[in-house]
Chain A
Amino acid sequence: MPHILAERLSIAFPLYHVGARSLKKRLLSATPLRLRTDDSNRVVVAALNELTFSIQSGERVALVGRNGAGKSTLLRTLAGVFEPVAGRLEIAGSIGSLIDPAAGMDLNATGRENILLSGLFRGLDDKACAVMAEEVGAFSGLGEFLDVPVRSYSAGMQVRLSFAMATVNQPDVLLMDEWFSAGDADFMARADKRLEEMVQQAEILVLASHNMRAVRAWCTRAIRLEGGRIVEDGPVEQVIGKL
């Protein structure tokens, strides 16, 4: 059964390429919450601090909190981009992330080439890539523009393509960052419908969002992050009702 289990999960970013020395001086004068220096005297951002939670199959979880609370970092960690610096993370089930739909897109390549590339990024074989290209091409409604470099697309067309590419697979565990679909009204309606389908078919949804309407509509449970820590975890109404 798909599930997510985090025990004292921590992520800390060392700040490598900033003027660490002047930053350190400032740190000494203030009492910082997230910035600290580690054993080897580097300035470190404690992005996530000892998170412990478990998400079972069937749960729809919203990550809420202010900007910089650690929502996106947590999503990326769940996606496998960052490995925990401390603690343990266990995820069962195939993971699909709608974090940055344009990731890995090559603007000089055509739409079709980008679809094939995204198939390769997912480890699909030639046949599956070809099927995927058909499906994505049809859903995006780009028609003849599919064989034109993405660079020459309008913003709306780029969104259509990246949306169609990102949502072509159905994962068990769906990780979603808040993102906005542009495009015309017709496409938006189709996009919303597809997202809803994906969310419904996924065993687990983790959604990072500021949009409380989406949270209320899709989620059953909310985790409120503040300064990289979990401050509240419970049913949606209980957590966001106070906001």
Chain B
Amino acid sequence: MSLARFKDAQAKPLLVSDAQNPRRTFRALEDMGLAFSRWRLPMALAMLDIRNRYRGSVLGPMWLTLSTVITFVALGLLYSTLFKMELHDYLPFLVVSMILWNVLSQVVSEATAALTAAEGIIRQMPLPYTVHVLRCLIRNAVVAAHSLPLILVVFWLFDTVPGLGALMALPGLVLFCLNAFAAVMFLGMLCARFRDIGPIVATVMQLAFFISPVIWKPELLGPQQYLLVLNPFYDLMEVVRGPLLGAPPSWPIWAAAMLFTAMNCAMSFVFFVRFRSRIAFWV
């Protein structure tokens, strides 16, 4: 039997780690590059995660879609009466908002366990840490994709199919994904080191849900509406939601979303560069 056929592709011909000259930035970039070039690994892991999560369930991830539908019908009826809004105006808004918010809060809550959950792998084999970040992102993206058709259905039902302007949601989506990547990396590391961060994040997200215009429309704030631009959750949601609802966000919102993305990415990158080599000791 020929054993020599499989050379580990990950085994580099020369591995040098020198604590005096750690080349942290280079190794962080190498880590990310390697993880992206081997995207099939995080993809396979994410698919297994989803399959395991819904193992034996008949509807599987469609349960999420179903529960979202039920929430929409109930909330839509209730709030449109409560806030005295036309269902025709309100429901498409609610559907897009809730789906975006669900994705956002799900990513953040899974980010807190992105690295600690991979402890068994991290402590046993050398892999780029970014693989675990991508695994979490892909898993969430696939789950989110199950709810997206709902948006189309609602647009069709209420006859509010947006025009070509909706394409502006794509750059918004890119910003959204960049932030998700940065957040998973940062929170994943932070939560591996400080185990109290997880519950704190959950509390913050709960609060953020109420102070961000997810189920209430920003217009309700009246003259104070401009203050919302300071809420990064609002900015990031609005750059995707606005174009889809045929109300392109104003430039301060775009600027704020981009600024926040840049800050988020920079912070995560600096943190990753500085502490990447400590992750194996933290998990």
**Interface of A with B (CB < 8 Å)?**
10, 13-14, 16-17, 76, 79-97, 99-100, 103-104, 106, 108-109, 113, 116-117, 120-124, 128, 131-132, 135, 139, 167-171, 194, 197-198, 201
Known: A90-B15, A91-B15. A76 touches B4 (CB 8 A): no
- Of B9, B123, B280, the residue contacting A83 (CB under 8 A) is B280
Known: A121-B127, A128-B6. A88 touches B48 (CB 8 A): no
A130 to chain B, nearest CB (A): 12
Chain B stretch 7-37: residues in CB contact (< 8 A) with chain A: 7-11, 13-20, 22
A124 to chain B, nearest CB (A): 6
- Of A84, A94, A128, the residue contacting B11 (CB under 8 A) is A94
Please give me the residue from chain B that is nearest to A99 by CB atom.
B124
A31 to chain B, nearest CB (A): 25
Assembly CA distance A132 to B6 (angstroms) = 8
21 A-B residue pairs with CB within 8 Å: A76-B124, A81-B123, A81-B280, A82-B281, A88-B18, A89-B18, A92-B15, A96-B8, A120-B38, A121-B41, A122-B6, A123-B9, A123-B10, A135-B1, A168-B3, A169-B3, A169-B7, A170-B3, A171-B7, A194-B1, A201-B3
Q: Are B195 and A109 in contact (CB under 8 A)?
A: no
Contact digits for B130-147, partner A, Cβ 8 Å, 1 yes 0 no: 000000000000000000
Known: A100-B124, A122-B9, A123-B38. A83 touches B15 (CB 8 A): no
**Interface of B with A (CB < 8 Å)?**
1, 3-11, 13-20, 22, 38, 40-41, 44-45, 48, 51-52, 55, 120-127, 193, 195, 277, 280-282
- Of B1, B13, B19, B122, the residue contacting A94 (CB under 8 A) is B13
Assembly CA distance A18 to B209 (angstroms) = 34
Q: Are A123 and B48 in contact (CB under 8 A)?
A: no
Q: Are B55 and A108 in contact (CB under 8 A)?
A: yes
Please, which residues of chain B bring their CB within 8 A of the CB of A14?
281
Q: Are B277 and A83 in contact (CB under 8 A)?
A: yes
Q: Are A120 and B18 in contact (CB under 8 A)?
A: no
